[in-house]
Chain A
Amino acid sequence: MTARIAASIICGLIFGTGLVISDMINPARVLAFLDVAGNWDPSLAFVMGGALIPSAVAYIIRGRHSAPLLDSRFFVPANASIDWKLVTGAALFGLGWGLVGFCPGPAVAALSTGRWEAALFVAAMLVGMSAYRFSLGRRLPNYNFR
């Protein structure tokens, strides 16, 4: 377990560094990408493109192994059905993201700057997650992990 926690911290360190270097920590930059009818800033497309390369390589490597290095199995959902929860949830997330330019990763990273706006957003986000957990999310999820 200690090794897995250490791996989580290291991956988090790299992730947070990436969010700062790419400037995705800045909601104005994200909104400028989403503003296709305005002064469009393509940065986020380069971030996504850059991120997909090593991520895809890792998923290809994963296909050749039955378990990850530090755990007994992979916890990757095999569910392929596009249901109303996925569609509604993604639409709601897009709405909230477009309103202020924060998604979960950058909002957490922005806590490091001490900006109260980030803390307020993250606090509200956790309340929203609780609202789901204690309403529709009460039932145990039936993920079929491959």
Chain B
Amino acid sequence: MPRTKITKNSKRNREAANREEKIRIYELKMDSVLMSIDDLEQRYNAMVDTQLQAVTLRLQSELREMKMGDFLEILPNLEHFGDFKASDQTQHLGSQSMYSNTTNGGDVAGGSSTNCAAVTAAASSRNDEGYLTEDSSLGGAVSCSSASTLSAYTGSMLRSAKAMRTPGPLHSARARRERRSRSACGSVIPKVLGNTSTAIAAGSSNSIIVPNGHRNSRSKMRTPMATRPKAISADRTPRMLKKRNTSPSTPPMAFLRWPKPGEVALSKYGSPIVAQVMPDKFANVNIPIRNGVLSLRPKKLAEVKAELLENLDEDTLNQIRTLHESLQLIVNTANKAALK
């Protein structure tokens, strides 16, 4: 019986191909490593900037304007920047840790991951023993915004006020979810609403969006089950058929549409849908265009797909321009305020 003739040098060919493949992989990996190193560099540099900005903001203006010569003289008496008092330099305030943040400047390069909030929080909170707790981060945010205008005295008032916080659920826990009964009527809507942000942000599949997100009042009598959202769409295509095995995530700019009146939005690996009430906590831009919505989220936009812009008309473009100018103005003003 004849059989397929195997040429002698096929093995060698295979080896050559193998080798080329390995070299190709090497080049790919090399490129990606180099890119991630660049990325790290940018991150560290940005971290230095943030930390320094935080330190500068925290500094009292007398200290900020002080000449280095004088500063180096009083330095032995200072454990932390916060210890400095314009009138009485020897008075020590206690557990403020700004100084260590600057002396560890080298550590910033080494990979310390504290951020602005952590810095200010650590400096402004006494009862957290140096850890970033919710209390301190809230307090830190307060003193971060106020440090430039308020005196150190008000800062310590804030601190003592915080120390007297009554025990109970944390602020975030209270804000996240109101206490409600476990009845179907009470719990369904909040739960669904909580999902909408993840549904839009991550394009997560099995979450259901209620287009009109008002909370049903408990005083009204109604059949509990009627408020449960039902999928109206007849599209029952299994998700595997669509061959989208990469995890879907919303790009910085995406094309979405508004739900039609009374429509229950259901996204199963499809294009993400805008709920009429945007529960998002972050800054975003939704631009209504001819047959949908351009939704921009605060992520870096690498490229603009031409088909997204096909439905932009002149008016919308002008409006976007105005928006752009306004946003730019906000950014510039904020920058100026920070650099002041």
Q: Do the two chains bind?
A: no
Interface residues of A (CB under 8 A from B): none
Interface residues of B (CB under 8 A from A): none
